[in-house]
Amino acid sequence: MNNQSVNSQSVNNRTANQQTGSADPGAVMSAAARCRVDIGRFRLDLSLSVSAGEILVLFGPSGAGKTTALRAMAGLVRPDAGIISIGGRPVFRAGDGAAGRPVWTPPHRRGIGYVTQHNHLFPHLTVAGNIAYGLKDRRRPATRQRVADLIGSLRLDGLESRRVWELSGGQQQRTALARALAPSPSLLLLDEPFASLDMELRQQLAAELRAMVSRLQTPVILVTHSREEALALGDTVQVIDQGRTVASGPPLSVLEQPGQGRVARLVGVENQLQMRVATRWPQDGTMVCRTGEHSLETPLADGLSAGDPVTVGIRASDIILAAGPLPQSSARNTWPGIVTGVQLRPPGYQVALDCNGITLRCHITGTSLEALGVAPGRSFWAIFKASSCFLLNDIADAAGQSPPL
């Protein structure tokens, strides 16, 4: 894990230099940290790196240390050890031994933009007043032009002299973003920026943010616990849990095919089955896993032989519910079961299907729910492809859950 992040850091720094080198040779638009923050009994081991025009998503459950990570970058929390640099310049360095003399740059000299979860728009100022807050010489025409430009590009036209509580949630969010961008920060920190917005607005703002980041080339660290947001926005996703990075990489590989059980649960793999390898079919590229009388086909994995315990993960959205076994389907796994629960899980429903002792969770849309007549007590077939099953190497949690065989 550590080696991996060190490698990716040096790569990122190189791309950062190339990208900004053409635009502005003076500034290196990047940020990196390898530091430790102790708050009471909580310890955050932070190691991250983000380059120009890149969005790094810190993903994890609440209490994982994501916000603390942002606050450490911002200088609102002082790490106990390590180093943080922004724009190629150290803003924090612990004064331990060979690392050299200690460095501490206070928040107001770090050149950052920070949007908190609750925006914290200043209630005594108007929209324009909020946006201009971080700018020097606020009466100068150039400053006014800067504010006007931001109001235009974040579509806040006509709201300049409004008080901030008169704004809708989306407008407040845009104002907070405009305020953070106004002093042209060399690092943008966003803490759950879209958490309080509805789905449609969220997607719209996410697209706007993406466009803005690639235009300004500002590195962004974004904190979220929403998988969708992480997938939609992240260039890199770093999964944080209990103060430690447990996975890091491109969003699709981290969030869609998570390798570790703990990560899988964090990113929401709804079905995790403890099984054993029964038969390998190298010519098909599949293998059969069993537990009790249940069996299913998964992609072939190297280094496993018959009898080895495995944890099979299946996403709820990858399981199809059908009234019959669909003989013409290419899906290799069909399990009959009885519906035990239906739960609203926007944008659709989550159905719990008891397949003879193992409960599978499947996501279906409201339309399918009605068309199929899904209700507790009724029988259905769960159908899923072998390629939708992936193996979780459950090293960290092996002690907690041993296979039922």
Partner 1 sequence: MPIRWFRQRDSGPTLGLLAPAGLAATVIYVLFIGLPIVALLVRAGQQDGFVAGLTGPLVLQALRLSLITSAISMIIVVLIGTPFALLLARRNSPALRIIDAFVELPIVLPPVVAGVAMLMAFGRSGLLGPALSSAGISLPFTTGAVVLAQIFVAAPFYVRAARIGFAGVDVSYEDVSQTLGVSPWATFRRLTIPLAWPSLLTGLTLAWARAISEFGATIMFAGNLTGRTQTMPLAIMTALESSLGAALALSVLLLAMSALALALLSAALGRAAKPAP
Q: Which of 146, 179, 262, 385 forms a contact with partner 1 (CB under 8 A)?
A: 179
- Smallest gap from Cβ 163 to partner 1, in A, equals 5
| Residue 286, CA atoms < 13 Å, CB-side half-sphere | 15
- Smallest gap from Cβ 261 to partner 1, in A, equals 36
Nearer Cβ to partner 1, position 34 or 179?
179
Establish if 120 lies at the interface with partner 1 (CB under 8 A): yes
Nearer Cβ to partner 1, position 43 or 120?
120
Can you tell me which residue has the tokens 């616990």? 225
Pairing status of strand 112-115 against strand 187-191: parallel
Binders in 187-206 for partner 1, by CB under 8 A: 189
For residues 277 and 287, is the Cβ–Cβ distance under 8 A? yes
Nearer Cβ to partner 1, position 35 or 164?
164
Q: Which of 33, 72, 91, 112 forms a contact with partner 1 (CB under 8 A)?
A: 112
Distances (CA, A) of 26 to 21, 168, 185, 258, 390: 8, 39, 14, 39, 47
Establish if 180 lies at the interface with partner 1 (CB under 8 A): yes
Q: Which of 88, 90, 183, 268 forms a contact with partner 1 (CB under 8 A)?
A: 183
From the CB of residue 403, how many other CB atoms can be counted at a distance below 10 Å?
A: 15
Establish if 110 lies at the interface with partner 1 (CB under 8 A): yes
Nearer Cβ to partner 1, position 196 or 368?
196
Can you tell me which residue has the tokens 């209700």? 375
Establish if 123 lies at the interface with partner 1 (CB under 8 A): yes
- Dist. CA 14–CA 341, nearest whole Å: 52
Tokens for 192? 């759950």
Establish if 133 lies at the interface with partner 1 (CB under 8 A): yes
Establish if 392 lies at the interface with partner 1 (CB under 8 A): no
Would you list the DSSP string of 58-69?
Answer: EE--TTSSHHHH
Nearer Cβ to partner 1, position 106 or 373?
106
For residues 224 and 209, is the Cβ–Cβ distance under 8 A? no
- Dist. CA 290–CA 218, nearest whole Å: 50
- Smallest gap from Cβ 136 to partner 1, in A, equals 8
Establish if 78 lies at the interface with partner 1 (CB under 8 A): no
196, burial (CB in 10 Å: exposed 0-12, middle 13-18, buried 19+): middle
- Smallest gap from Cβ 94 to partner 1, in A, equals 21
- Smallest gap from Cβ 296 to partner 1, in A, equals 49
Q: Which of 82, 113, 243, 251 forms a contact with partner 1 (CB under 8 A)?
A: 113
Establish if 122 lies at the interface with partner 1 (CB under 8 A): yes
CA angle centred on 136, ends 133 and 139, rounded to 5°? 85
Helices (H) and strands (E) in the chain, counts: 10, 21
- Dist. CA 275–CA 49, nearest whole Å: 38
With residue 364 as reference, give the H or E element that holds it.
Answer: strand 358-364
Q: Which of 3, 124, 343, 400 forms a contact with partner 1 (CB under 8 A)?
A: 124
Establish if 140 lies at the interface with partner 1 (CB under 8 A): no
Nearer Cβ to partner 1, position 109 or 215?
109
Strands in 389-392's sheet, in edge-to-edge order, are 294-299, 286-291, 271-281, 309-314, 389-392
Establish if 182 lies at the interface with partner 1 (CB under 8 A): yes
Establish if 40 lies at the interface with partner 1 (CB under 8 A): no
Establish if 66 lies at the interface with partner 1 (CB under 8 A): no
Phi-psi region for residue 356, left (φ > 0), alpha (ψ -120 to 50) or beta? left
- Smallest gap from Cβ 8 to partner 1, in A, equals 26
Nearer Cβ to partner 1, position 114 or 380?
114
Establish if 104 lies at the interface with partner 1 (CB under 8 A): no
Establish if 50 lies at the interface with partner 1 (CB under 8 A): no
Nearer Cβ to partner 1, position 75 or 243?
75
Q: Which residues bind partner 1 (CB under 8 A)?
A: 71, 74-76, 106-114, 116, 118, 120, 122-124, 133-134, 163, 165, 179-180, 182-183, 189
